[in-house]
Amino acid sequence: MSAGRYAPSPSGDLHLGNLRTALLSWLFAASTGRPLLLRFEDLDAGRTIPGSAERQFKDLRAIGITFSGEPLWQSQRQHHYEAAVAQLREAGLVYECFCTRREIQDAPRAPHAPPGAYPGTCRDLGDAERRQRRQQRPPALRLKAEAGEYRVADLLLGEVTGLVDDLVLVRNDGTAAYNLAVVVDDHLTGVDQVVRGDDLASSTPRQVYLRGLLYGQQTAESVQYAHVPLVLNRQGQRLAKRDGAVTLGQLSELGQSPEQVRDELLASLGLPRGPLEQSVETFDPSRLPKQPWVFSPASQKRGPSESI
């Protein structure tokens, strides 16, 4: 199976930036003959808001985005993540890490390493020291990576280069980490086209490297990536719910229909207004805007004929 996917976190209502990325995911998939899957990334129970997944699904459907099959929930897929960790452990590529975020931040690291890169503090701990550390706090599990710098092709950004450090596979509460869950879910559901915001581009080298370890380098390198520009507020910051009327529900209260919101999102991409199906035949990734879309939230009610 070959598929695309849209994978929101059910932590609240989708704003226009989320909806624009979802619309692009649909267009990329439809224009290449792929089904589009919906996956709710709800592993972080502290951020999951009851009812938000249902509202997100309703909003996506309201602007014309359709999906193949039933939505997947990461919280129901723990056994798949455990199997992947067992495979890596069998290959000698997993070790326990007892570091806190503060210890990682304060640890010395190589001059070329980006902020937050893991310096390998716990990689070579002896058995006795590990036993002692386990009495102080439960360990996370890290990948013993040997890649260094890694390059990935991107349809919109060209070549994305990033450092692959010893990334976390399982957090110290036993929950699968983001990079592991994404890689496992994408592979097991046949996803070979990933469209998402360009703020996530830096995580792609890690994910491609991990996917190669688990499922083979050829499989990993066959995935098509497209990291799309974000929607920004007037201050040049990433659009957020605090920026005013930026969700479909809020815009509806200002008199904007889902169809009008859809049309404004399409216009921001240089695409014709109207049902999404009309844009499929003429959709060309090379003609998409390369710069972020700056959105100015409405401050007062508008009539139904006025644009956003």
Paired residues of 71 in beta bridges: none
Same domain, 83 and 161: yes
Tell whether 193 and 235 lie within a shared domain: no
Where does a domain end: 205, 228, 251?
228
Residue pair 253/245 in contact (Cβ under 8 Å)? The answer is yes
CA–CA distance, 32 with 2 (Å, rounded to integer): 10
Mean of pLDDT values over 161-174: 94
Q: Look at residue 304 and tell me whether its pLDDT is greater than 70.
A: no
Residue 176 lies in a domain: yes
- My answer on whether 38 and 121 are in the same domain is no
Of all residues in the chain, the percent with pLDDT exceeding 70 is: 94
pLDDT in tens, 41-57: 999 988 899 999 999 99
Q: pLDDT value at position 256?
A: 94
Which pLDDT score is estimated for 114? Answer: 66
HEC-encoded secondary structure of the chain: CCEEEECCCCCCCCEHHHHHHHHHHHHHHHHCCCCEEEEECCCCCCCCCCCHHHHHHHHHHHCCCCCCCCCEEHHHCHHHHHHHHHHHHHCCCEEEECCCHHHHHHCCCCCCCCCCCCCCCCCCCCHHHHHHHHCCCCCEEEECCCCEEEEEEECCCEEEEEEECCCEEECCCCCECHHHHHHHHHHHCCEEEEEEEHHHHHHHHHHHHHHHHHHCHHHHHCCEEEEECCEECCCCCECCHHHCECEHHHHHHCCCCHHHHHHHHHHHCCCCCCCCHHHHCCCCHHHCCCCCEECCCECCCCCCCCCC
Q: Is residue 185, in this structure, part of any structural domain at all?
A: yes
58: confidence class by pLDDT, cuts 50, 70, 90: very high
305 occurs within a structural domain? no
Same domain, residue pair 170 and 249:
no
Number of structural domains (the chain) is: 2
The pLDDT, as a whole number, for residue 87 is 98
Q: What is the pLDDT of residues 110-140, one digit of tens each?
A: 556 666 688 889 999 999 999 999 999 999 9
Residues 84 and 221 in one domain: yes
For residues 153 and 210, membership in a common domain is answered with yes
Instruction: Answer yes or no: is 187 within a domain.
Output: yes
**Residue 60 predicted with pLDDT over 90:** yes
Are residue 105 and residue 8 in the same domain, yes or no? no
Q: What band does 1 get if pLDDT is binned at 50, 70 and 90? A: confident
The predicted-structure confidence for 205-240, as pLDDT tens digits, reads as follows 999 999 999 999 999 999 999 999 999 998 888 888
pLDDT band at 296 (very low <50, low <70, confident <90, very high): confident
Residues 94 and 211 in one domain: yes
| Residue 301 scores a pLDDT above 50 | no
Take residue 234 and report the two structure tokens written for it: 């007037």
Q: What is the bridge-based pairing of β-strands 148-154 and 158-164?
A: antiparallel
pLDDT for the residue 104: 84
Let me know if residue 304 belongs to a domain. Answer: no
Give the burial class of 286: count Cβ atoms within 10 A of its Cβ; 0-12 exposed, 13-18 middle, 19 or more buried: exposed
Report the distance separating Cα 66 and Cα 61, nearest Å. Answer: 6
Taking the CA of residue 58 as centre, how many other CA atoms within 13 Å lie in the half-sphere pointing to its CB? 10
The encoded tokens of residue 44 equal: 């972080």
Average pLDDT value over all residues in the chain: 91
167 within some domain: yes
* Same domain, residue pair 125 and 33: no
Which of 183, 211, 228 is the endpoint of a domain? 228
What was the pLDDT predicted at 154?
Answer: 97
Share of the chain above pLDDT 90, in %: 80
Is the pLDDT at 307 greater than 80? The verdict is no
Domain containing 264 equals 3-75+229-294
User: Does 278 map to a domain?
Assistant: yes
**Dihedral through CA 183, CA 188, CA 190, CA 195, nearest 10?**
-30
Residue 307 lies in a domain: no
> How far apart (Å, rounded) are the C-alpha atoms in residues 63 and 73?
22
93 and 221 housed in the same domain: yes
What are the pLDDT digits (tens) for 4-49? 999 999 999 999 999 999 999 999 999 999 999 999 999 998 889 9
Of 173, 198, 228, the domain-final residue: 228
* Per-residue model confidence (pLDDT) at position 297: 64
Q: Identify the CA nearest to 197 among candidates 167, 236, 156.
A: 156
Paired sense of beta strands 36-40 and 72-73, if any: parallel
pLDDT level of residue 107 (50, 70, 90 thresholds)? confident
**265: pLDDT strictly greater than 80:** yes
Please check the confidence at residue 302 and state whether its pLDDT lies above 50. Answer: no
**CATH code where residue 169 lies:** 3.40.50.620
The amino acid that residue 36 corresponds to is L
CA 134 to chain centre: 32
What is the pLDDT confidence band of residue 306, given thresholds at 50, 70 and 90?
very low
Statement to judge: residues 169 and 186 lie in one domain: yes
pLDDT value for 258? 97
Same domain, 67 and 104: no
Instruction: Kindly give the pairing relationship between strand 94-97 and strand 140-143.
Output: antiparallel
Structure confidence at residue 241 as a pLDDT band (50, 70, 90): confident
Under the banding of pLDDT at 50, 70 and 90, the label for residue 303 is: very low
pTM greater than 0.85 (yes/no): yes
Token code pair at residue 162: 């990033």
